[in-house]
Amino acid sequence: GGQLRMRFLVPAADPDPAVPIPSAAAVATLTTLPPSPSGSSVPDLPSGWRLLSCDDDEVNQEVITGIFKPEGFNLDVAMNGSECLKAIDSKPFDLLLLDSMMPGMS
């Protein structure tokens, strides 16, 4: 088996609207983040964060679940765009993991 390693930037709570959000090109140039002090492959985030993973690929959802659930995150899964939108309307989430090529939504 292969290994999946995900790294992402998470903005501080209540970002200042006067501070510009970096462009996708600028974010893409980031290659490494400091390692998690806990040694986890998942960046240290506040405990109890609600995550929503929206992806139509069941294998991707299993991988995401396998990464985040053991780390103590509250993870909801949506298998299509309609489910994703309903989940977003039903409760607040701290982080969304979105499939950029979701059928019917792209």
Q: What is the DSSP string of 15-56?
A: --TTSPPPPHHHHHT----PPPTT--SSPP--TT-EEEEE-S
Q: What is the pLDDT of residues 17-73, one digit of tens each?
A: 665 555 555 544 444 445 556 666 555 666 678 899 999 999 999 999 988 888 888
CA dist., res. 101 & res. 60, Å (int): 13
pTM of the model: 0.59
Q: What is the mean pLDDT of residues 80-94?
A: 91
Handedness of CA 36, 42, 43, 44 (dihedral sign): negative
Phi, psi of 21 (to 5 degrees): -80, 135
